[in-house]
Structure formats: structure tokens, C-alpha cells
Amino acid sequence: MSFNIAKESGKKRVVVVGGGFGGLKLANELSGSDFQVILVDKNNYHQFPPLIYQVASAGLEPSSISFPFRKIFSKKKKDVYFRMGEARFIYPDRNILQTSIGKVEYDYLILAAGTTSNFFGNKHIEEEAIPMKTLSEAMGLRNALLSNFERSVTCATEQERRELLNIVVVGGGATGVEIAGALAEMKHYVLPKDYPDMDNNLLQIYLIEATDRLLSGMSMDSSRKAAEFLQEMGVNVCLGKKVLDYQDHEVLLEDGTSVPTRTFIWVSGVRANSIGNIPETSIGRGGRIKVDAFNRVEGLPNVFCIGDQCIMLNGDSEYPNGHPQLAQVAIQQGKLLADNLKRMEAGQELKPFRYRNLGSMATVGRNKAVAEFSKVKTQGWFAWFLWLVVHLRSILGVRNKINVLLNWMWSYLTYDRSFRLIVYARKAKEVVEREKREAEVHWGE
């Protein structure tokens, strides 16, 4: 296997690992410039994480919040190449990246591989919990939810019914708040119609957070309001509760209590994706790769890291301990790094990164959201409306925008969640075998 891309004389090659917000921004900015850009991603599409919870709660289809890379690049100059593969490790002394589909040489390597769910070392939870970081996981959660509802109708004991109808969401960040809210709406508007013989009170949603507030990235005001919204909607908000383990369909808490459930959703934190051969000393908190103010990886002059995967310590004076892991940081770093690469080639001085905080927001339910910008805080329907507009604007592609808008309008008018199908794609044998082969690309040559 190989990348099958010839080097162009006179053009330096930039290899970008990961086509999330940061990596895609960078690739787009460099297209048409004097670089040959190769984007490597394990998926063949760019996805829009802020709306993944709506896929999980059957409000949107995966295709509405994702976009094939080849479609993005097909309109660009032919200087941007896409390859579907997983980065494994780097040989910095020889400027080579090893991936599941072979090796590729780089002049500049940009790591933008984002994060994955953090189970804080608990293998047990990792095995049993349902994460919600990727489209694949969101579809898995949707299927599991619907299948648990179905089984609650036919199960043998009251105990099992309770386990099937209790939903536990661990993690009170934006994702946790949003999925808990979406599930509460499903409980109120969809399930009574779908399951007329189900006692709706049996379905209980728990949102468990270890610290004493939700949305720790936002103001106390927003945190309190989000909790209030959720409680109004019937969600059991449990603050200051630490999850120790999950055993025999029970979530065990540090205070000795437990919650029975077979839908154990884990959105409690993230860990940077790792790549082999980055010096141990360059790895910071949460597995994030330490970078300087120009997103350069410590000690590797032509390797950069941007977005959630990196941590910039002592760089941006307003954020001496690193930036929050948000889309805007990644996008701004991708943009700046593209400019800086061009500056390097032109022999100009590099510009250090300064994060411009555009604000943050989280939605809980219809007409219920919290939003804050540098000077303004707003809550309720206006925040909700803002949230819709901001997210709609950010989704890639006219068709996806239309799709999402139509779906939202439909859901708003009908109180329905349309995509309640339990379906798993059947994996062809050829694909299974190929995946096995590619998983076996190990360290070494």
C-alpha cells in the first residue's frame, strides 16, 4: 500500500492528519497556494460534532451533518489530495509519517487528529458505556436507545424494565446537557405516541456530573439556568456525583448509591488522540501535545499540532494553561498556521496565536438555550434562536444546510423525531478482511 502521490518539484508537501475543523480549515486555506497538501483522515467525510447529539436522538441523519472530503476537494485545485487512512507514528528524523495505508514523506506535518472519549483508565466502563464522539457512536446510541425501548415492552421482569427505561448520561458539559435535553423531549413528545401502553413515568433520565455545576466552560448564571431548564423538562440532574463503575447494569456512584440502567451514555471527558513517537515529554494534560505559540510541537521544527489535540502552554497570554477544546480555537489555529506556513516559505516572521473568543452556547430544548458573548448573556428562546442560526451557518454545504433546516422546522412543528430506525450496515467480508490487514500495520517499517 502507498499514497501514490508524486512529489511536485518546487512545491513543499504538507501532510495534514485529521479533517476536523482545524485540519480542514488549514487544507482549504493552503489550496491553490505553493504547497502540495495531503489530508489523511480515518473517515471519508468531515463531520460537524456540535450536532452529533441530534443524530443520536433521531432528529437528524448522519449525512446532514457530514460532508465527503472528496466532494469538498473536487472543486478545489488538484493540489489537495485526500487519503483515507489512520496515522500511526512518525519518524521525525526522516520526515516520514506511517499510516494504516502506507508511509508518506512530508516537508511539514500537521497533527489535527482531535480527541476521543476519556474513560480515565476504567476498562470496564470503556467496554460497557456508550460514547457519543463520532457519527458511528451516535448511530450506535440511537440504535441502542430504540432497541432498549422495544425490549422494555417485552422483557420478563420489572427490574429489567426499569434498567431498560432508565437512561444515565455521565458528564455535564455541553454534549451531556444537550443529549439529556433531547432525550427529555423524546420522552414527552414521541414515546407516549409510540408506546401508548408504556407508563411514561418509568422512563427516567439522569444527568450525572462530578463537579458541582453543569457547563463548566460557561458562567455560573448559564450553568444554573441550564440545570433549571433540564429540571423543568423532567431530567434528574445530579451534581457533585462521581461515577466509580458500571456493574450488572448499575452505575455505581462514589457516595454509595447506584442507578440501574442499560443505557449508560458516557460523555464525561476527552483525551487527545495519540500518535506514536512523539517524545513523552511533549505530552501534556489529557494526552494533548505541547506546542509553542506557533503551534509547533516541542523539539520538532517541522511538525505542528492544532485544535483539540494540542495544548499551548505559555503561548497565548490570556490562556497560559491552554485553550478550551472548542471548534473556534481549532479553526483559528488552522487559519493562522496556513498563513504562517506561507510566511515561513517567504522568509517572513511568524505570527503567534491569540484566541479570539467568539462566545459559547448550549441548547437544552425547544426555545431553551443559554448563550454568552463577550458582553452579552442571553437565555431562553432568543439564545435558542441564535444557537440555531450559528449552527446552521457553520454546517458545510448548501444541501446540508437546507436538510438540517427542513428537519428542524419539521420537528418544531410536529414535535416528532423522524429517524427512529434500528439499522446496522452489514459489513462485507472483503471490508472486514481489509480492516484486519490495515490494523496490523505496526511500528517499524
Interface residue list for its own copies (CB under 8 A): 1-4, 43-45, 61-63, 66, 68, 70-71, 74, 78, 83-85, 101-102, 127-128, 130, 134-137, 139-144, 146-148, 150-151, 153-156, 193-197, 262-263, 399, 410, 418-431, 434
Nearer of residues 57 and 333 to its own copies, judged by Cβ: 57
Instruction: Please report how close the Cβ of residue 74 comes to its own copies at its closest, in angstroms.
Output: 4
Instruction: Please report how close the Cβ of residue 138 comes to its own copies at its closest, in angstroms.
Output: 8
Nearer of residues 63 and 236 to its own copies, judged by Cβ: 63
DSSP 336-384: HHHHHHHHHHTTPPPPPP------EEEEEETTEEEEE-SS-EEESHHHH
DSSP one-letter code for 91: E
Task: Give the type of residue at 7.
Answer: K
Instruction: Please report how close the Cβ of residue 91 comes to its own copies at its closest, in angstroms.
Output: 19
Closest Cα to residue 142, out of 97, 103, 186? 186
Instruction: Please report how close the Cβ of residue 349 comes to its own copies at its closest, in angstroms.
Output: 36
Pairing of the two strands 204-208 and 236-238: parallel
DSSP one-letter code for 286: G
| Alpha carbon separation from 377 to 370, 382, 405 (Å, rounded) | 8, 11, 25
**Long-range contact pairs involving 1-4 (C-beta distance under 8 Å, separation at least 24):** 1/101, 1/102, 1/438, 2/101, 2/102, 2/103, 3/38, 3/81, 3/83, 3/101, 3/102, 3/103, 3/104
Instruction: Please report how close the Cβ of residue 438 comes to its own copies at its closest, in angstroms.
Output: 9
| Alpha carbon separation from 26 to 77, 98, 111, 131, 393 (Å, rounded) | 15, 21, 11, 28, 19
Nearer of residues 79 and 372 to its own copies, judged by Cβ: 79
Instruction: Please report how close the Cβ of residue 169 comes to its own copies at its closest, in angstroms.
Output: 14
Closest Cα to residue 59, out of 404, 366, 397, 381? 404
- As a whole number of angstroms, the distance between CA 15 and CA 40 comes to 7
Instruction: Please report how close the Cβ of residue 402 comes to its own copies at its closest, in angstroms.
Output: 8
**Residue 287, Cα to own-chain centre: how many angstroms?**
16
State the distance between the two ends of the chain, measured CA to CA, in whole angstroms.
12
212, burial (CB in 10 Å: exposed 0-12, middle 13-18, buried 19+): exposed
Instruction: Please report how close the Cβ of residue 133 comes to its own copies at its closest, in angstroms.
Output: 10
Instruction: Please report how close the Cβ of residue 352 comes to its own copies at its closest, in angstroms.
Output: 37
Instruction: Please report how close the Cβ of residue 80 comes to its own copies at its closest, in angstroms.
Output: 11
- As a whole number of angstroms, the distance between CA 56 and CA 271 comes to 21
DSSP β-bridge partners for residue 102: 99
DSSP one-letter code for 170: E
